[in-house]
Amino acid sequence: MNQDWRDFVVTVDQRGLATLASAASAAVESLARPTGPRSNLTPAALHELIWSMEICPEAGSDLATVLADLGEVVWKHGVVPSDPACVAHLHPPTLIPAVVTELAIAASNQSMDSWDQSPSGTEVELHLMSWLAHLIGMPTSASGIMTSGGTASNILAMTLARSWAAQRIGFDVLKTGLPEQASRWRILCSDQAHFSVQRAAAQLGLGRDAVVAVASESSGVLSVAELDETLTKLSDENLEPIAVIATAGTTDLGAIDPLHEVGQRARDHGAWFHVDAAVAGALLLSDRLRPQLAGIEFADSVTIDFHKLWWQPFNASSLILSDAQQFDLLRVKSNYLDRGDELEGMINLVGRSLDTSRRFDAAKVVATLRTLGRRSMASMLEHLVDVALFAGERIEGNPQLELVAPPASVMCVFEVRGANRDDLRRIQQRLLARGEMVLGRTEIKGRPALKFTFMNPLTTFDDVERLIAMVTAEIDS
Ligand SMILES: Cc1ncc(COP(=O)(O)O)c(C=O)c1O
């Protein structure tokens, strides 16, 4: 095919933009697909289909054809988070303002590491981070950074907590590595906390065993009595809690730990107080739901994922610090990027990040919030909480099913009476294989369970009835 590569370089002149717009419209058309949360292609058939696609032919093809092929081969066989039967994970449908802004983000390709690669982008991200810190209720010293996800935000928070613990005993951990005392350092969180806490401890050289899991109550919230007991035990053993983590919205049950109480314990023991609000941080937008997060404002750091209940395309997370100066604990000077001799006001965000080159994801979040406004975002969230409560009521009234705990945010976790782990696996896998439902399956304190995670604000109460009927039909079959 006779094409000129010059036509594919993004330019912002009239011709370049017209070419981009027409390609974008072909990409949008390629998304059209039959209904259902996923196709019923077997893993083997899917493998064959994808691997038959030539990755890099000697000569290229027309873009419209390539995009149409992607539609047939890839999008048609992906999952559809906007389908009400896609309820396994914290995997949201996305919002149009964010998705179209992604195109602008990619086309303009600002890089967030240095001011000279993203002058306006740097200010937008800082503005968004300050707004979020204010929403949390933190002091004006607070600010943050966007990261690729809740895992990255939690790892960054624990990196800072570790450097802070070292700094307090006169150690520059970035330069000399861990001090001897580090073998006594512990990170406390509930047994329902996300596994990224363990990953952080492992990456930071503290080891997974440095994470002490505090027993949670049956509702999934951290037990403060157990936390007190654990802290006493650590002190008896001459071990030092350097960080205490509360989870606001656990991955399975959506439970929100008692933030005030956990924060108080962290302060009493001189430990860094981190709140992992990757899931429930969005509740801050709702006057009705926000009180559930009382105490979050006292955190040293907070993780909030925009790519969960803010309906942003991946990647979009943030870590907010109550004292943004603490990011200095991370800073590594580089000769070419962050020299420290820039003009006044030229901030290089690389100083706050574990990444160097970084996407301007703040733009899509801002576009979304400005388009929908706080009230609409809050309504969407409140609806999903109501959907989960409704599912809880229906499951409670169903003799074949049993709730593991009352829904605390947007999840509903339940057992099937008389069914074991294998039975649940069969139910979930059959629904997945037939492409009828992407259902969650987990284990809470050794109890195998199924899970609905309601992320789609278009989900209706009728959809919930239908999902429950589909599960019970599968039990009976
Ligand atoms: C409570 C919590 N924290 C952190 C994460 C990690 O988020 P991500 O998948 O964006 O890395 C999750 C993911 O589900 C989560 O539920």
The pTM of the full predicted model, rounded to 2 decimals, is: 0.97
The ranges of the chain annotated as CATH 3.40.640.10 are 104-367
- Mean pLDDT of all residues in 327-344: 86
How is residue 18 written in tokens? 């017209």
Question: What confidence score (pLDDT) does residue 362 get?
Answer: 98
Q: Average model confidence (pLDDT) for the chain?
A: 96
Average pLDDT over residues 24-46: 94
pLDDT at 337: 84
As a whole-number percent, the residues of the chain with pLDDT over 70 amount to 100
Residue 278 CB less than 6 A away from ligand 1: yes
Protein residue with its CA nearest to atom 15 in ligand 1? 251
pLDDT at 34: 85
For 364-399, write each residue's pLDDT tens digit.
999 999 999 999 999 999 999 999 999 999 999 999
With a 6 Å cutoff on the Cβ, whether 279 touches ligand 1 is: yes
Q: Which of 151, 283, 355 to mutate to test the pocket of ligand 1 (most atoms within 8 A of CB)?
A: 151
Average pLDDT over residues 341-354: 92
- Calculate how far, in angstroms, residue 456's C-alpha sits from the geometric centre of ligand 1: 18
Ligand 1 and 192: CB distance under 6 A? no
Name the pLDDT band for 33 (thresholds 50, 70, 90): confident
pLDDT digits (tens, 9 = 90+) for 123-155: 999 999 999 999 999 999 999 999 999 999 999
- With contact defined as beta carbons under 8 Å apart, do 247 and 192 qualify? yes
Name the DSSP class of 221.
Answer: P
Residues 181-187 have a mean pLDDT of 97
Quote the pLDDT of residue 124.
Answer: 98
What are the tokens at 359? Answer: 């996407």
354-377: b (≥16 Cβ within 10 Å) or e: ebeebbbbbbbbbbbbeebeeeeb
1 pLDDT above the threshold of 80: no
Residue ranges, CATH 3.90.1150.10, the chain: 373-476
Q: How many CB atoms lie within 10 A of CB 74?
A: 14
CA of 149 to the centre of ligand 1 (A): 7
Please check the confidence at residue 477 and state whether its pLDDT lies above 90: no
Q: Which two tokens stand for residue 402?
A: 């049993």
Output the pLDDT for position 223: 98
For ligand 1, say whether the CB of 322 is within 6 Å of any of its atoms: no
Residue 251 near ligand 1, beta carbon < 6 Å: yes
pLDDT at residue 314 is higher than 90: yes
CA distance 355 to 293: 29
Whole-angstrom distance, CA of residue 150 vs CA of residue 135: 19
Q: How many CA atoms lie within 13 A of 465 on its CB side?
A: 3
The region that residue 191 occupies, defined by phi over 0 for left and psi between -120 and 50 for alpha, beta otherwise, is alpha
User: Options 3.40.50.1980, 3.40.1280.10, 3.40.640.10, 1.10.579.10; which CATH number does 104-367 get?
Assistant: 3.40.640.10
**62 falls in which pLDDT band (50, 70, 90)?**
very high
Ligand 1 atom with the shortest distance to the CA of 247: 1
Q: Which CATH architecture has domain 373-476?
A: Alpha-Beta Complex (3.90)
The pLDDT assigned to 44 comes to 97
